[in-house]
């Protein structure tokens, strides 16, 4: 008779893609997992997976066996986790990947309150504008804006896409004049994402709903929205920024709209994680924290992908 524990181990190793990652997620030594899978293969009299130092792949028999067993195993694990989570106190380490300027708009006091409420939780932030590999970098949850490219990941939208608009400081407009058309932007310093030539193409929608593009250039560029925002406030040029980022400055008169009839659809913000199944309670609690705070904070700036265009 098959040992169902061995079957469950096999399914989890396939789910996580490697013995090392399955061992980390399950808290079991990799050699133990490997031995259990070998025992299962011996009982079945067939090889289930091909192993290498970098990855594993299923044999035809292994794929068929996994397809027939995975749903049942996952259902049993879900049922157990559901019961355990009712009384589980959030604890353990939560690794979070976020943009480099994340704490420019997410107050540290929110984390202080969260940690006070959950004294057994530890947070480890990996701040970078590079897109983290959740599995390779052992990230529990990533905070991302822009177009999601990892179709195998689960994403929870925490901020809807808004509109990007052109803005500049009153001092810049006083010195250089207000553009009357998109073509006039060619004669202005525009703040763009990093490009060797300091150039960019802005795609905008006009008042008639038609799309238009304009080539712009400037003497200052950067790879984050915050850099461009601060440069615009300093009177260094015209920037195309999310409306959620500039709302307060526009109200206060620190920035003024430029060609307000033109805009660009922005990007939302998502919390991304490898799977919604078997989330540790500490990770779930952190996700709820960020989702709730983003929902309350209407002036939250959205991160857009750094791009030369």
| Residues 279-289 pLDDT 10s | 788 999 999 99
Query: Exposed, middle or buried: residue 104 (CB in 10 Å: 0-12, 13-18, 19+)?
Result: middle
Chain segment 173-200, per-residue pLDDT in tens: 999 999 999 999 999 999 998 777 668 8
Per the prediction, the chain carries an average pLDDT of 83
Query: Exposed, middle or buried: residue 262 (CB in 10 Å: 0-12, 13-18, 19+)?
Result: buried
Which pair of tokens denotes residue 243? 């409306």
Categorize the per-residue pLDDT at 300 as very low, low, confident or very high, splitting at 50, 70 and 90: very low
Categorize the per-residue pLDDT at 93 as very low, low, confident or very high, splitting at 50, 70 and 90: very high
Categorize the per-residue pLDDT at 306 as very low, low, confident or very high, splitting at 50, 70 and 90: very low
Q: Provide mean pLDDT across the span 242-246.
A: 79
CATH numbers and ranges of domains, the chain = 4-85 (1.10.10.10), 92-161+268-296 (3.40.190.10), 163-265 (3.40.190.290)
Are 237 and 115 in contact by the 8 Å Cβ rule? The answer is no
């Amino acid at each position: 008779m098959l040992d169902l524990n061995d079957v469950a181990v096999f399914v989890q190793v396939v789910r996580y893609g490697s013995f090392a990652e399955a061992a980390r997620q399950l808290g079991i030594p990799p050699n133990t997992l490997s031995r259990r899978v070998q025992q299962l293969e011996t009982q079945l009299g067939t090889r289930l997976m091909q192993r290498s130092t970098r990855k594993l792949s299923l044999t035809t028999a292994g794929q068929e066996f996994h397809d027939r067993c995975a749903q049942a195993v996952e259902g049993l694990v879900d049922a157990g986790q559901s019961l355990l989570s009712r009384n589980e106190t959030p604890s353990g380490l939560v690794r979070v990947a976020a943009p480099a300027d994340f704490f420019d708009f997410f107050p540290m006091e929110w984390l202080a309150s969260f940690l006070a409420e959950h004294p057994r939780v530890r947070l480890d932030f990996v701040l970078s504008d590079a897109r983290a590999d959740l599995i390779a970098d052992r990230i529990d949850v990533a905070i991302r804006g822009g177009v999601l490219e990892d179709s195998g990941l689960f994403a929870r939208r925490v901020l809807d896409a808004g509109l990007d608009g052109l803005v500049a400081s009153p001092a810049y407009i006083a010195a250089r004049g207000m553009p009357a058309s998109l073509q006039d932007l060619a004669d202005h310093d525009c703040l763009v994402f990093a490009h060797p030539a300091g150039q960019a193409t802005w795609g905008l929608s006009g008042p008639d709903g038609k799309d238009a593009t304009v080539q712009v250039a400037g003497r200052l560029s950067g790879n984050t929205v915050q850099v461009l925002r601060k440069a615009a406030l300093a009177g260094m040029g015209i920037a195309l920024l999310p409306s959620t980022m500039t709302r307060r400055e526009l109200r206060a008169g620190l920035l003024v709209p430029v060609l307000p009839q033109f805009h660009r659809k922005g990007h939302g913000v998502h919390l991304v994680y490898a799977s919604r199944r078997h989330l540790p309670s500490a990770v779930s609690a952190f996700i709820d924290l960020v989702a709730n705070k983003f929902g309350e904070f209407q002036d939250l700036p959205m991160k857009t992908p750094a791009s030369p265009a």
